Amino acid sequence: MIDKNAIIRVFHVHKRYGSKNALIDVTFDVAKNEFLFISGPNGAGKSSLLKLLYLAEGVSEGEILIDGINLSRISRKRIPLLRRKIGVIFQDFKLIPTKTVFENVALVLEVAGNKKHTIQKKVKRLLRAGGMEEKLDSYPAGLSSGEQQRVAFARAVAGDPKIILADEPTGSLDDESAGIILDILKKLHVLGTTVIIATHNKELIHTISARTIYLEKGRLKQDIPRTSKIISL
Ligand SMILES: Nc1ncnc2c1ncn2[C@@H]1O[C@H](COP(=O)(O)OP(=O)(O)OP(=O)(O)O)[C@@H](O)[C@H]1O
Ligand SMILES: [Mg+2]
């Protein structure tokens, strides 16, 4: 069945790394403006799935559509345009080591062609919200993991993406910082952003009533709707 409201469609997707099956026959849709958790133990395939959604890697089999675009058929020229609709927080941050905190976040806005003045204002506002205003000129190597995660978060939301993909976004954060980031994600969701969070942190999943897809050994084992969230995984 075609769901006209779906912003993401994952259809019988397999992902293999050599002989390793990271994802096996995974199918699900994500509605526009949905808030979705992807859960499951270490090695379940959560990051692999997000990498496919971000076009960091290609599927081995199956199809993925984002905003109506089939990722297997997208032309090289259109990939950057599609990526701009997606903000990503990687599990290992992926900040650029030779750029400062300010420059790491500003880059997204520069690529999108924003004016210098707009960039200055926006980057400072985002970093202030994450308590990073004192570290604008620091390099990633000089930051704690929690601070790097906050910069990665500011970078992910800087371009006002339609979709946010977050891989363990609170993994390195203390409870207070994790709470701040979750609050921002909830606010962005209320404003219309589709939010997908991959995490094995059950506590995090239980703090928000949201649909949860549960992966195990590469297979989609459960798809628990928002309303019946009491089921323990
Ligand atoms: N580049 C790769 N080469 C080989 N195997 C890989 C690669 N990336 C992932 N895998 C394997 O695929 C499986 C799924 O990995 P993935 O990183 O997606 O799990 P995950 O659910 O994100 O785990 P975690 O909770 O530890 O982040 C694992 O068995 C992993 O070893
Ligand atoms: Mg992972």
Residue 66 lies in a domain: no
Is there a domain that residue 17 lies in?
no
Domain extent at residue 172? 32-51+85-228
Q: β-strands 6-17, 20-31: how paired?
A: antiparallel
Q: Determine how many CB atoms are found less than 10 A away from the CB of residue 58.
A: 11
Residue 74 forms part of a structural domain:
no
Asked, for residue 107, whether it belongs to a domain, the answer is: yes
Give 43 Cα–ligand 1 centroid separation in angstroms: 5
- State which ligand 1 atom lies nearest to the alpha carbon of 45: 18
Is 110 within a domain? yes
Count: domains in the chain: 1
In a domain, 15, yes or no: no
Between the CA of 46 and the centroid of ligand 2 the distance, in Å, is 5
Mark out the alpha helices in 73-214 (DSSP H runs). 79-83, 101-111, 116-129, 145-158, 175-190, 202-207
Instruction: Please report whether residue 104 resides in a domain.
Output: yes
Which pTM does this prediction carry?
0.90
Burial class (CB in 10 A: 0-12, 13-18, 19+), 74: middle
Q: Are strands 86-89 and 163-167 parallel, antiparallel or unpaired?
A: parallel
The strand pair at 35-39 and 211-216 is best described as parallel
**CATH code, domain with 94:** 3.40.50.300
Asked if 145 contacts 95 with a C-beta cutoff of 8 angstroms, the reply is no
Whether residue 13 lies inside any domain: the answer is no
With a 6 Å cutoff on the Cβ, whether 48 touches ligand 1 is: yes
Cα 71–221–162 angle (5° rounding)? 35
Q: How far is the CA of 47 from the centre of ligand 2 (A)?
A: 4
Residue by residue, pLDDT tens for the chain (233 residues) are: 556 679 999 999 999 999 999 999 999 999 999 999 999 999 999 999 999 999 999 999 999 999 999 999 999 899 988 998 999 988 888 899 999 999 999 998 998 899 999 999 999 999 998 889 999 999 999 999 889 999 999 999 999 999 999 999 888 888 887 888 888 888 889 989 999 999 988 888 888 889 999 999 999 999 998 865 544 43
Query: Residues 197, 53: contact at Cβ < 8 Å?
Result: no
